[in-house]
A and B are shown apart, each in its own frame.
Chain A
């Protein structure tokens, strides 16, 4: 019991003393996951909306695929990205393996299906409500996409937050393609995994507490957006 209490106390001290190593790791985690989510949103929002609005051969299969990819195991994504980026792989010349960029790539692949699949669902529902009105006004599908993305913004923000939650909590992909290199590619989840196995509990616990707080924050933000929307936008 003393051992646990001591570990918690050390972890707490690391946090409140703004320990440089700890905050470097937190900062890199946020940078990697936020960048990945931004890129995934830039691609996934219009992609999901286009799948919702346009009819094309293979559309049904694409929807099934997107939905299935939402549950992609992070280690598998890590493995595939590793194979592509490794020296012998097709993108080996880029020399990206074990860099934050590699971690961002892996997380984009993890988050993109979530954003695209949820966007597709949201926009398809909105489109069935708006279609005749928009066609009546003279807005075709191309014009409708930005319109519907904007009108679905509340739900879409929560979809993006879900993507961020997944990115910041996953460990498998960033571990494989990042390699948990001190001061280069160590993020919260990989540090927790490795420090724990080394018995270095304070750092792992400190990061664990911060990760938990981040998750709470994400969910609070999602709830805040929903409440704001209910009150203001109806």
Chain B
């Protein structure tokens, strides 16, 4: 843990009529435990996700990175402890549209056109008519998918599919975007395209929380790093500190490419 100030990007209002007070951040994990199948893959997590920095969750395979994102996003519920959002009642999963989005390693696209995938997400968020059209076209343009608007989503290449998943997230103008290894199965060019979109969304004020096992990517994107090992936070530091002088033995071993236990 560190109290050192991070590079801050103000959390700007994301839609007309929304004010700073509507920010859902920070998000605090307090003693969060997740038990499944007699194991505790998340074993007492305390951490705070503040508005601003690009946060990279890194750690060895099975450290609990994906579970942490799914817990934060409300896809699974902690078996003990609590996760507190600033504006709690807005952020209950399964209760309609929220101000946070998630992009999965393998995107789930609906069996309809690229444009219809965006329209679907917008309609769930009750964005209608001209505004829906505008947000759809903007999201397509910013992810380079305009020419694919009418193509069936499932016939896109892997990289294009992930760009569509990013476009879908972007169209919803979330305050927080969770990304779980979004480039794990992409080639370098497609990876660079996704990173570019992540940066652009962050520049617009969207908080980024992302996992990656690609250390190069973590160096390129991270403002701060949360290093997880065996379901606990081992380090939570500015990215430069983490990569240059990790405090823990586990992180040093991990960075050196050794097996961490």
Contact = CB atoms under 8 A, between A and B. Distances in A.
Interface of A: 129-130, 132-140, 143, 147, 150-151, 153, 232-234
Contact of A137 (B74, B112, B124, B154): B124
A139 B126 CA distance: 11
B104 A140 contact: no
Contacts of B96: 138, 140
Given A132-B75, A132-B104, A133-B104, A140 B94 contact: yes
A94 to B, nearest CB: 42
B132 interface: no
B108 A130 contact: yes
Given A133-B104, A147-B110, 7 more contacts: A132-B70, A132-B75, A132-B102, A134-B108, A137-B124, A153-B111, A234-B154
B7 interface: no
A4 to B, nearest CB: 50
Contacts, number: 56
A100 to B, nearest CB: 37
A153 B110 CA distance: 12
The 5 closest A-B pairs by CB, nearest first: A133-B108, A138-B97, A234-B154, A151-B111, A234-B155
B65 interface: no
Contact of B124 (A129, A138, A150): A138
Interface string B133-163: 0000000000000000000101100000000
Given A130-B108, A133-B108, A151-B111, A138 B125 contact: yes
- Residue among A135, A138, A153, A232 with max Cβ neighbours from chain B (10 Å): A138
Interface in B75-133: 75, 93-98, 101-102, 104, 107-108, 110-112, 120-121, 124-125
B75 A137 contact: no
A137 B121 contact: yes
Say whether chain B's binding surface is mostly helix, strand, loop, or mixed: loop
A139 B112 CA distance: 17
A149 to B, nearest CB: 11
Interface residues of B, number: 27
Contact of B154 (A133, A138, A233): A233
A220 B159 CA distance: 36
Contacts of B120: 137, 147
A140 B108 contact: no
- Residue among B70, B107, B121, B168 with max Cβ neighbours from chain A (10 Å): B121
A234 B125 contact: no
A130 B95 CA distance: 17
Given A135-B94, A138-B98, A151-B110, A234 B70 contact: no
B73 interface: yes
Contacts of A234: 152, 154-155
B57 to A, nearest CB: 17
A233 B151 CA distance: 9
A133 B152 CA distance: 18
Contacts of B108: 129-130, 132-134
B154 A139 contact: no
A140 B95 contact: yes
Contact of A136 (B101, B112, B154): B101
B75 A139 contact: no
B14 to A, nearest CB: 15
Nearest to A131: B75
B152 A136 contact: no
